């Protein structure tokens, strides 16, 4: 399979998915989301694939967020559709996958990039990785499940601190608070992710799929939280703060909220 913004290969029952937009720090534009959806469906349907690793091309970024330039053209309904689509891809195709999906975080994991990583079943990070949800600095909030998943992973207080300050944290701090499973060197990152998948492959695939579903059931009673997030994300596109935040970002100036 060939894509413009992704690299995809299957080797030893593992699907390697690499977001490949190095000049844009692997930002998730809509075409990349389209291609990611196709690949994740292929992972689901390919009997030879037992698990997957998602990483970023280059040495700087895993995924440095969404492509903010595209946001300027979105109306309220478009923003709602975008958030719902992100929820579908991240929740149904990643979090609810019966095959283990690991995020190999090799640099900046910001905004939608960190949200994608949080949807994965595990997160391994290189020592140089930086993690954050900067959406409030754009007059927005995380719109692909971030408000819910971060809270589940690190607790309400730490989640609110990360989201409300929009500050980045190191991989080591992410490990300390439970956001990252393990921190390794950049050279070890893929090998460690592969070794964990191979360990899982040695177990019952039926039991693994059932365990994933059981763990995911923990938040079934909180689905309204995701719905609230979608509504807020799209409604924020109507605000002056969003317009100011994005304009400041694109013009590389400090926003005036």
Specify whether 115 is catalytic.
yes
Query: 67: closest CA among 128, 118, 106, 19?
Result: 19
Query: 43: closest CA among 113, 109, 100, 120?
Result: 100
CA trace torsion 149, 180, 20, 137 (10° rounding): 60
CA distance linking residue 101 with residue 131, whole number of Å? 19
Residue from 2, 35, 75, 135 carrying the catalytic annotation: 135
Residue from 59, 115, 188, 244 carrying the catalytic annotation: 115
Burial class, 215, CB count within 10 angstroms (exposed 0-12 / middle 13-18 / buried 19+): exposed
Give the three-state DSSP class for 175.
helix
Specify whether 182 is catalytic.
no
Distances (CA, A) of 251 to 155, 248, 254, 255: 35, 5, 9, 10
Query: 103: closest CA among 93, 91, 116?
Result: 116
Burial class, 204, CB count within 10 angstroms (exposed 0-12 / middle 13-18 / buried 19+): exposed
Number of H helices, E strands in the chain: 11, 10
User: Which residues carry out catalysis?
Assistant: 115, 135
């Amino acid at each position: 399979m060939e894509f413009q913004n992704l690299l995809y290969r299957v080797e030893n029952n593992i699907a390697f998915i690499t977001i490949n937009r190095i000049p844009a720090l692997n930002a998730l534009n809509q075409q990349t989301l389209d291609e990611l959806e196709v690949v994740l469906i292929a992972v689901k349907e390919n009997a030879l694939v037992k698990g997957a690793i998602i990483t970023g091309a280059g040495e700087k970024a895993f995924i440095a967020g969404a492509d903010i330039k595209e946001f300027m053209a979105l109306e309220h309904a478009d923003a709602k559709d975008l958030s719902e689509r992100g929820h579908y891809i991240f929740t149904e195709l990643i979090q609810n996958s019966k095959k283990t999906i690991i995020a190999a975080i090799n640099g900046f994991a910001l905004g939608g990039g960190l949200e994608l990583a949080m949807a994965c079943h595990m997160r391994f990070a290189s020592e140089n990785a930086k993690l954050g949800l900067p959406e409030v600095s754009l007059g927005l909030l995380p719109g692909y499940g971030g408000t819910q998943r971060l809270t589940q992973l690190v607790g309400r207080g730490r989640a609110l601190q990360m989201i409300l300050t929009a500050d980045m944290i190191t991989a080591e701090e992410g490990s300390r608070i439970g956001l990252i499973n393990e921190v390794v060197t950049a050279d070890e990152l893929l090998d460690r992710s592969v070794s964990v998948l191979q360990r899982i492959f040695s177990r019952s695939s039926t039991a693994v799929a059932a365990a994933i579903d059981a763990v995911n059931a923990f938040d079934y009673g909180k689905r309204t939280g995701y719905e609230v997030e979608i509504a807020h994300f799209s409604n924020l596109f109507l605000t002056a703060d969003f317009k100011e935040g994005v304009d400041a970002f694109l013009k590389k100036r400090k926003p005036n909220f």
